[in-house]
Amino acid sequence: MSIELIDVSKKFGTFVAVDNVSFSINRGELLALLGPSGSGKTTILRIIAGLEKADTGSVILEGRDVSREDPRDRGIGFVFQHYALFRHMTVFENVAFGLRVKPRKLRPSEPEIKKRVMDLLSLVQLDFLAHHYPMQLSGGQRQRVALARALAIQPSILLLDEPFGSLDARVRKELRRWLRKLHDEIHVTSVFVTHDQEEALEVSDRVVIMNQGKIEQIGTPEEVYFSPQTPFVFQFLGDVNLFHARELSNGEIVFIPDESKGVEKKIFVRPNQISISLTHSRNNPIPATIQYINTAGPMVKIELMDKKGNPLLAFISIDEYHELHLKKNMEVFLGVKSHHTFENIPNF
């Protein structure tokens, strides 16, 4: 089912949580709402679900305006951040709940309920825990029970609020790949909220990046990562180096500027787009001192400081690191392989 938000705003007291937001989600899509905490992403999710009423604007599901409809009539499955499992019920009863509360006419028979619940539990690979209570499960298991429970009512939309937020790093990675696979199998329109950019970029078809109640950019993970439209997006999706360089009239960018020539330009560079050389050259004009080297990981992370005292970050390959014999407090020269600039940057 497609989802469309038109001019949705929501205030809590004087705090503007969602500020005139419009976007649409295609049928069968897996969309990530990404942003720092307080950016309004969870509020949007709750407005789609109907748990929160928008002050203005409307929510349209498959062409039907549901803004005034009760959440229970919207056919939406919701997975809560802290799972919200019914702790007085077994895993089986948790998943069966949505079927058991249906009006008598629509309620499946007991054997049907049993079959459907067990099917769902095997889908989330937890059928062996059917008769355990939520408090006997691990975080990852609870999360999958919550997912099975939400899917039991055969929702046309699945909403997930920080689905991996309270899990440890390893389980988190495992579970998000599993969610992607599951989505490819059952193809239900899904929206999930996250503050983890890696998660959003890895799992989703499209990403909506939010900041202070507004949308910064919407696009596929490739689009937002490689062509960020605002400094916020660029900075939020990874580490950033900021250079105050100058652009000459012929379009050339000068990093060690002569203040009299050209116009000031703010240059954004990812750490892996910085090259390090031991000698000064045209391609490596920026002198800097190595502050700290971290070799643990797929790339070597090098923290540096330029002549004005600005901190810089460079990622280089381990081979390159060994070749250069880099050490702490060494004087090196940096070059910029590729960079981003933005027009009209207020207060950045």
Contact call for residues 199 and 164 (beta carbons, < 8 A): yes
Task: Return the structure tokens found at 264.
Answer: 């000031």
Q: Give 152 or 332: the residue with its C-beta nearer to other proteins.
A: 152
Rounded CA separation 96/89 (Å): 10
Query: Using the rule CB under 8 A, which residue among 5, 49, 179, 302 binds other proteins?
Result: 49
Nearest to 11 by CA among 23, 21, 19: 19
Binding of other proteins by 108 (CB under 8 A): no
Other beta carbons less than 10 A from residue 233's beta carbon:
21
Rounded CA separation 247/249 (Å): 7
Contact call for residues 104 and 84 (beta carbons, < 8 A): no
Span from 68-76, 188-196, 273-281, 328-336 in contact with other proteins (CB under 8 A):
68-76
Q: Give 72 or 322: the residue with its C-beta nearer to other proteins.
A: 72
Task: Return the structure tokens found at 261.
Answer: 């020539």
Residues that contact other proteins, how many (by CB under 8 A) = 30
Span from 2-10, 29-37, 80-88, 324-332 in contact with other proteins (CB under 8 A):
80-88
Q: Give 40 or 50: the residue with its C-beta nearer to other proteins.
A: 50
Binding of other proteins by 271 (CB under 8 A): no
Contact call for residues 246 and 262 (beta carbons, < 8 A): yes
Q: Which residues of 114-138 are buried (b: 16+ CB within 10 A; e: fewer)?
A: eebbeebbebbebbebbeebbeebe
Binding of other proteins by 131 (CB under 8 A): no
Query: Using the rule CB under 8 A, which residue among 101, 256, 278, 345 binds other proteins?
Result: 101
Q: Give 64 or 87: the residue with its C-beta nearer to other proteins.
A: 87
Q: Give 60 or 171: the residue with its C-beta nearer to other proteins.
A: 171
Q: Give 80 or 342: the residue with its C-beta nearer to other proteins.
A: 80
Binding of other proteins by 78 (CB under 8 A): yes
Query: Using the rule CB under 8 A, which residue among 82, 244, 261, 307 binds other proteins?
Result: 82
Query: Using the rule CB under 8 A, which residue among 71, 165, 238, 285 binds other proteins?
Result: 71
Residues 6 or more apart whose CB falls under 8 angstroms from that of 191 comprise 3, 25, 31, 32, 33, 45, 48, 157, 158, 159, 160
Q: Where in 165-204 is the site for other proteins (CB under 8 A)?
A: 166-167
Nearest to 313 by CA among 262, 243, 250: 243
Q: Give 107 or 307: the residue with its C-beta nearer to other proteins.
A: 107
Binding of other proteins by 152 (CB under 8 A): yes
Other beta carbons less than 10 A from residue 30's beta carbon:
22
Task: Return the structure tokens found at 275.
Answer: 């090259």
CB of 109 to other proteins, least distance (A): 18
Span from 138-146, 187-195, 258-266, 332-340 in contact with other proteins (CB under 8 A):
138-146
Which chain residues interact with other proteins by CB under 8 A? Answer: 49, 51, 71-72, 76-78, 80, 82, 84-88, 97-98, 101-102, 135-139, 142, 149-150, 152-153, 166-167
